[in-house]
Amino acid sequence: DSGVTQTPKHLITATGQRVTLRCSPRSGDLSVYWYQQSLDQGLQFLIQYYNGEERAKGNILERFSAQQFPDLHSELNLSSLELGDSALYFCASSVDLKAEAFFGQGTRLTVV
Amino acid sequence: AQRVTQPEKLLSVFKGAPVELKCNYSYSGSPELFWYVQYSRQRLQLLLRHISRESIKGFTADLNKGETSFHLKKPFAQEEDSAMYYCALRSNQAGTALIFGKGTTLSVSS
């Protein structure tokens, strides 16, 4: 157990809907990363937060947004869902910007 | 552009055979490279990072700046090594995020 907790583990929803994925980082970790894993694209970096502030954006669609709260947990919001958004979404955390990143188990999103 | 290339999607070997998982990168400056492993239905775990020069589970990787490579090697494969292996590069353009290759599935059979 890496200490990074993601909920829910599985999510099935219809096209056009909106979902929220939650990530609780390891205790003391300030940095949170979100990644999308799909069969054709592999692991794509979406967005990074550090101590509540957005740090960097990767290949994140405009329909997606995220935030990190004062207690350092993070949420990834996905809206106007399309079939192609079906993927495994991973959260990772690290104690600072250069430390090893620990990954959660992921949330498997299926859009039908 | 910062990029990681893993040319093999699948590598199949027999137990006891040597293993080499290839990783090439594109980066300007001094790269920080990692290998992560993902066993079936489990989370990604850090296997090793080049700055620590450790050998984990018998795996080693050497950074070759001339060839821009960071290949993962193990002299004798075990069945429990079967997993997906990802090579990753720490970005200096996208915060400090890791940029991953597409991964190589290692299958070790007896």
pLDDT in tens for each of the 112 residues of chain A?
Answer: 669 999 999 999 999 999 999 999 999 999 999 999 988 888 999 999 999 999 999 989 999 999 999 999 999 999 999 999 999 999 999 998 888 899 999 999 999 9
| Residue in B with minimal Cα distance to A90 | B43
- pLDDT reported for residue B101: 95
pLDDT in tens, B16-73: 999 999 999 998 888 899 999 999 878 999 999 887 777 788 999 989 989 999 999 9
Predicted pLDDT at B105: 96
> Residue range B92-101: average pLDDT?
84
The token pair at A52 is: 């509540």
What residues of chain B, 69 to 108, have a C-beta less than 8 Å from chain A?
86, 90-91, 94-103
With CA atoms as reference, the chain A residue closest to B86 would be A43
Q: Nearest Cβ partner of A55 from B95, B98, B99?
A: B95
Residue A45 touches partner B, C-beta closer than 8 Å = yes
B-chain residues within 8 Å CB-CB of A35? 100
DSSP A75: E
Q: Residue A98 region, left (φ>0) first, then alpha (ψ -120 to 50), else beta? A: alpha
Q: Is the pLDDT of residue B13 over 90?
A: yes
Q: What is the per-residue pLDDT for B41?
A: 78
- Tokens linked to A12: 């099935």
Q: Could you give the CA distance from residue A35 to residue B55 in angstroms, rounded to a whole number?
A: 27
Q: For residue A112, give every residue at least 6 positions away whose Cβ sits within 8 Å of its Cβ, in sequence order, or none.
A: A12, A13, A14, A15, A83
Closest residue of A to B90, CA-based? Answer: A98
